Amino acid sequence: MTIEAPALSAEAMAEWTSHVESVLRGIAHALNNRAAALSALIELATEPAEEPPVIRSILGTELERVQGLVRVLRSIGVPRGAIEAFTPGDAAAEASSVLALHSDHRDVPVEVDIAGAQPIRVQRWMFVRAVIALGAGMTRGPSRGPARLTISAEDAWLEVIGTDTPWRTTPLVAELARAMGGDALPDRYGFRVPTLAALRQREGR
């Protein structure tokens, strides 16, 4: 059964809209690069000395990049999906792909580390967007290095934490965390949601 999206506050909605606009700017920039690459490929195809396998290889790479942009657009589009159990690795990778195109992070990449994470049972899109919002709120890393998020299990919780950061968790992150049965961490920049094992224990399974 598909569950309706939670009712977010105006502040949280404005925050997500700002991230979407930044990602769309990044996608526009990436599409310009892909168009330039395809134009160069057309020129290569007219060169008699150029080997067809080389052209096919370059074309394949460009098609993969365009497909990646399509996946990012789906990630920031209308949320759909039922509550499901999943391990956070693929969802974190999806969030990383979105953050890589966030225009505010062209010079400050956000790295996501998975450290012994446990399965969870939530609406996947909520988790992805909470990770995106958490990462996007980090405008610089420690010692001006990459901003870093760590996903790990702590007792009955899966925690997503920005390491060595002084920032406060944003309204969007906090509201999505609550909608997933968790909460924002009071003393660190991050959020937590119950693990699948903890939920099953509560349900007596």
Lowest mean pLDDT among 34-48, 75-89, 124-138: 34-48
pLDDT over 60 at 2, yes or no: no
* Per-residue pLDDT, 51: 66
* Per-residue pLDDT, 29: 92
Averaged over 150-166, what is the pLDDT? 88
pLDDT over 90 at 48, yes or no: no
Q: Mutual orientation of helices 10-45 and 52-75 as an angle, nearest 10°?
A: 170
Per-residue confidence band for 139, with pLDDT thresholds at 50, 70 and 90 = low
| 1: in domain | no
* Per-residue pLDDT, 143: 52
Closest CA to 158 of 132, 195, 114: 195
* Per-residue pLDDT, 80: 78
- Alpha carbon of 117 to those of 48, 50, 92, 167: distances in Å? 53, 48, 11, 23
Averaged over 131-158, what is the pLDDT? 81
Find the domain containing 110 and state its range.
Answer: 9-205
| 4: in domain | no
* Per-residue pLDDT, 3: 52
Greater confidence (140 vs 189) lies with 189
CA distance 5 to 78: 10
Please state, for a pLDDT cut of 90, what percent of the chain lies above it.
53
Per-residue confidence band for 88, with pLDDT thresholds at 50, 70 and 90 = very high
* Per-residue pLDDT, 5: 66
- For the chain, the average pLDDT equals 86
- Alpha carbon of 26 to those of 73, 93, 145, 159: distances in Å? 11, 17, 21, 28
- pLDDT digits 0-9 by tens, 110-131: 888 888 789 999 999 999 999 9
| 41: in domain | yes
Instruction: Dig out the tokens for 123 from the structure.
Output: 């609406």
| 82: in domain | yes
Greater confidence (2 vs 156) lies with 156
Query: Cβ distance 64 to 57 under 8 Å?
Result: no
| 111: in domain | yes
| 165: in domain | yes
CATH number at residue 96: 3.30.565
Query: Cβ distance 98 to 76 under 8 Å?
Result: yes
| 89: in domain | yes
| 2: in domain | no
Query: Cβ distance 122 to 193 under 8 Å?
Result: yes
pLDDT over 50 at 1, yes or no: no
pTM of this prediction exceeds 0.85 = yes
Query: Cβ distance 124 to 41 under 8 Å?
Result: no
CA 116-117-123 angle, 5° bins: 170
Indicate the number of domains in the chain: 1
pLDDT over 50 at 174, yes or no: yes
Query: Cβ distance 120 to 86 under 8 Å?
Result: yes
- pLDDT digits 0-9 by tens, 13-29: 999 999 999 999 999 99
